[in-house]
Copies of this chain bind each other. A is one copy, B any other.
Amino acid sequence: MSRLLIIGCGGVAGVAIHKCCQNSDVFTEICIASRTKSKCDAIKAKLENTTKTVITTAQVNADSKDELVALINSYKPDAVLNLALPYQDLTIMDACLETKTDYIDTANYEPEDTTDPEWKAVYEKRCKDLGFTAYFDYSWQWAYKEKFEKAGITALLGTGFDPGVTSVFTAYALKHYFDEIHYIDILDCNGGDHGYPFATNFNPEINLREVSANGSYWEDGKWIETKPMEIKRVYNFDGVGEKDMYLLHHEEIESLAKNIPNVKRIRFFMTFGQSYLTHMQCLENVGMLSTEPVMYEGREIVPIQFLKALLPDPASLGPRTKGKTNIGCIFTGVKDGKEKTIYIYNMCDHQECYKEVGSQAVSYTTGVPAMIGASLVLSGQWKKPGVYNVEEFDPDPYMEALNKFGLPWVVDENPVTVE
């Protein structure tokens, strides 16, 4: 018997809402709130006759703490699941603090406008302090730990797939397969083909940042920074086949480095096709990826926003994307004095996801873990005052829920490792 407020109504939220409705024993009531209430109403209309979960909807501006507090006070949820924009994490955390409500999210906070000189200065100092190009990092949210402890409420950060499931895989491996984990390689492969020469699954600004930012990995207690796309490997993924993958900075490296004792190295690799990279490069060369407005016919236009308007709507990719994602971690460590390596991964089929919830695997693999994280907080299994990443809790109920709710995983005890 619990009541969840879900903020946000995009692709990931759509999946999470579907999944909450498949788990009505935990989610007896949900309220879907976003800036555009009609989107919430549309999902409600689609689902309400298929589930025991009672669905309500609300309009809210997630940039306004006051509006959020008013909504929480009126709906009185047991927890808030934040599936809005990463820019809004801190505002929503503030509202949760004020109303003493548990908080769950999937993506870490980042400042919205890092071109503003004041922000830029703060930002650059953070990067320097952290020792890597901190396009995203947990420090903003970790700083809330004491406040959440004092308020007696839980914040569960980053319960998507990566970060999220990959960190739960790590906790699970450490609990059941290793005495110590020394090497972690997180491999994120999207083998989906949407049939367009070029399209992006999410916001092109985020895709751009992935390929144009410096990479970094954790080794021997410090960050090693690489040039953008400097480290390339080829890996043969189960269910997908051979793909090029590149080392990127990724947020779970930061929390795993803190939470996994004795870890020597953590790397993150993501697959990109050559054609995708060529398109990104050409678009960047002509200025189409710029986030700085240019004057055009007497009006400011932000090139990357205009590009976004030209590209296929990410939502339209769902019905046409074929193939699978394969995301997981290769762990090398020691058990009973012997070195061993295992690979835990999930394969997810784009078309099956679409058939089930109307979204392809990229949203599905984030939305399902969001629901699972929320269910564990609501059920009290993952409830503890403070601010936590997923690897800090017992992984077993989460791993069980992954199998039950559409993201079954495999443990390969003899995997090919990454050089």
Contact = CB atoms under 8 A, between A and B. Distances in A.
A288 B285 contact: no
Interface in A249-279: 278-279
Given A198-B286, A279-B282, A306 B301 contact: yes
Number of copies: 2
A307 B288 CA distance: 8
Can you list the 7 inter-chain pairs with the closest CB atoms, starting with the nearest? A197-B285, A282-B282, A287-B310, A279-B282, A296-B309, A198-B285, A198-B286
Interface in A280-333: 282-283, 285-288, 294, 296-297, 299, 301, 303, 306-307, 309-311
Contact of A294 (B283, B286, B294, B310): B310
Given A286-B288, A288-B310, A294-B310, 12 more contacts: A198-B285, A198-B286, A279-B282, A279-B285, A282-B283, A283-B283, A283-B286, A286-B311, A296-B301, A296-B306, A301-B306, A303-B310
14 contacts: A198-B282, A198-B285, A278-B278, A282-B283, A283-B286, A287-B310, A287-B311, A288-B310, A294-B309, A294-B310, A296-B309, A299-B299, A301-B301, A303-B310
Contacts of A294: 309-310
A interface, how many residues as a size bin?
20 to 34
Contacts of A299: 299
B310 A286 contact: yes
A143 B309 CA distance: 44
Interface in A3-18: none
Contacts of A307: 286, 288
A244 B288 CA distance: 28
A286 B281 CA distance: 13
A8 to B, nearest CB: 23
Contacts of A278: 278, 282
Contacts of A301: 296-297, 301, 306
B296 A286 contact: no
Contacts of A279: 282, 285-286
Contacts of A297: 301
A317 to B, nearest CB: 14
A201 to B, nearest CB: 15
Contacts of A197: 285-286
Contacts of A285: 197-198, 279
Nearest to A299: B299
Contacts of A296: 301, 306, 309
A186 B197 CA distance: 34
